Amino acid sequence: MTSATRDLRRYLPYLLAALSMIGPFSIDAIFPGFPDIGHDFGVGEVALQQLLSVYLLAYAVMSLFHGALSDAYGRKPVIVVGMAIYAVASVGAAMAPSFAFLLGCRIVQGMCGGAGIVIGRAVVRDTMQGEEAQRMMSKVMMIFGIAPAIAPIIGAWLLGIDGWRGIFWALAAFTVALTVSVARLLVESHPKEKRTVFRPRPLMHGYLTILRDLPFWPLAIASSINFAGLFLYIASAPQLIRDLLHLGADGFPWLFVPVVSGMVFGAFVSGRVAGRASAARTVNWGYAAMLSSCALNLILALTLDHPRVPWSTLPLALYGCGVQLAFPTLTLLLLDRFPEQRGGVSSVQAFGSLIFTAIVAGVLSPALSGSMLTLAIGTTVMCLIGLGAWLTYGTLERRRLARTQAAAASSVVSQIERNEPG
């Protein structure tokens, strides 16, 4: 093993986990600052929700290009440039003179914030195979899972130092440090001889090729909507904490600690069973956990006289565990469908996932965050859609295997007939 490879293996999980944290910090850390932002700029809850929606939409659209850019120019340069621009946008947000300017900075943050996580999945598959790749993906997701829990806590703490602007100054400082770390420590995993040309027509042709692949769709839907079901609670955090649970800015851990604890445990289990349990069994365990959580949420919402901690949020630990049990395997199955276009596949997957989460943040969360029952129903419906997609993929794979076996048997018969005398 070369020195470069040793360096890559040594730093990769920590760099990718830190890059993955950009998303949760960009979303969750600003929640405690919503009331102050609304007061400073004279805007209401609906406008404040757009700080999340515009970020996610920009993230989704640009995610279509991150992977393709990394296929053309290399993984490392695209990540470094993306993080540097994100840092500049964070400085702009911290100094925003108006709400419209702040929204513009959030759009730029969204355009760059996904570079790390989108390209990072391709980096894992560039360098590792089989159970090793699943363990690495699980390790990254386990470290990444801490971010949603600590982000609102740090955001609330920063409010006491420099108000909501301090949150964006902290994001800028974190991203500057991350940009320097990636530039120094990440080893390029996509050599020049394997790179493609970045042109609109080949890019669109590649995406069309991916989208024409029938098994891609159920895998992409399952991996995206599973997290969207959990994200419904995350996006509804300000209303859930303040209006339903009647807690203050220091009450966010009641939601995020169970969620993250479950996600970390699920990622840990996924890494431990890599190579021991089949892909289908791992994903099935994930859905068993998610459906159990949905059932508990529905029962508690119907039986408790009013929402209360910890019971109203504790079942989310089980849902988070299920999401992380299934996600690494679903992602690897997706990437393996197009080994020469892993960056592009990762981009399409990220785009679909972010479209789901943007719809959740901009439409479903405002509509369903009025009660714990409507939140539970919304998550249950999304979980069932994900399960249906996963079962559809299994059906398609069984049919493909049957056709392959039939073709092989036919080939053997034909060969025997040709070899028979006379």
The pLDDT confidence band at residue 294, using thresholds 50, 70 and 90, is very high
Q: Is 59 left (phi over 0), alpha (psi -120 to 50) or beta?
A: alpha
pLDDT tens figures, 178-198: 999 888 887 777 777 777 777
pLDDT value of residue 128: 72
Q: Which domains does the chain have, with CATH numbers?
A: 3-189+202-401 (1.20.1250.20)
Token pair for 260: 């993250």
Specify the pTM.
0.72
pLDDT tens figures, 346-367: 778 878 887 887 788 778 988 8
Phi/psi for 74 (5° steps) reads: 105, 150
Average pLDDT over residues 324-341: 84
Neighbours of 205 (CB within 10 A): 11
What share of the chain has pLDDT > 70, as a percent? 91
Average pLDDT over residues 94-121: 89
Q: Is the pLDDT of residue 9 over 70?
A: no
CA neighbours within 13 Å on the CB side: how many for 13?
A: 18
Q: Is 278 left (phi over 0), alpha (psi -120 to 50) or beta?
A: beta
Q: Is the pLDDT of residue 3 over 60?
A: no
Euclidean distance between CA atoms 394 and 20, whole angstroms:
29
pLDDT tens figures, 117-134: 778 777 776 777 667 776
